Amino acid sequence: MFLINHSLVVNKIYQSMQATVDIFVSSVIYGEEFNGKRSLVKKVFKDAVWVDGSDLSEVIGALKDNRYVVINNFQKISDLDSLDFENKNVVAIYNGNILPKRVEDKFAFIYYIPPLKNRLDEVELLTKHYIQEAKESFEIEEDIKVDTKDIDLSKNLKSLKSSIYKSILFNNISEDELSYLLYNYFIKNYEGVDVYKRMLSIFEKELVRAGLDIYKSQLKLSDILGINRNTLRKKVNEYLWYWL
């Protein structure tokens, strides 16, 4: 999914690329991974042959046999001088926020797409889209909101979608599903002489942390849990020292 019409930056690049579809020029679009570069190029250059920069011989072959070529992962090209762009419409997708001068000199048109954290107008719309997509995948009918603190933009679209799916899944998990997840976790990690203590700490730490978030008081939480206040304090010392 790519919201071209909802981003001034992306729409400007889209319009410029559209103008070069039918002429033989070379273009490079760069920026962080998973920020929408591939989706944008696919939308504009629908009939181009795609190759990956990690295979130089494949790239050279594609340039020899085709006039419209998209080179993905261009940062992996090992020999720029071996590439002939003459009488070709070539689009390179470069992953990185800085474009080396030797790469820049190879292209007539250069486009930069900023990371999602700098395109917050799109983030809100993308969040709504992925929430709806996740609801359909998990067969959830009720309205769902995702806390903004749960949204991860560190890897742009990839982490945004993943964090939304995880947030919805974790906040709608049933007791049976949780038991199933724990069982599989224990199966994979059932080793060591201290396995009981390690696994028990998983429950205790999160039980205490959630209680402190809810009640904001160790005294009240000790009553709720039915344990001695000093015992609770020891557990907070062990698991959540930053609360002290």
pLDDT tens digits for range 141-175: 888 888 888 899 999 999 999 999 999 988 888 89
> Model-level pTM?
0.79
CA 124 to chain centroid: 15
Give every strand in the sheet of 89-95, ordered side by side.
Answer: 49-52, 68-72, 89-95, 26-31, 109-112
65 has a pLDDT exceeding 80 = yes
Task: Report the mean per-residue pLDDT for the chain.
Answer: 92
- Cα 3 to chain centroid distance, Å, stands at 16
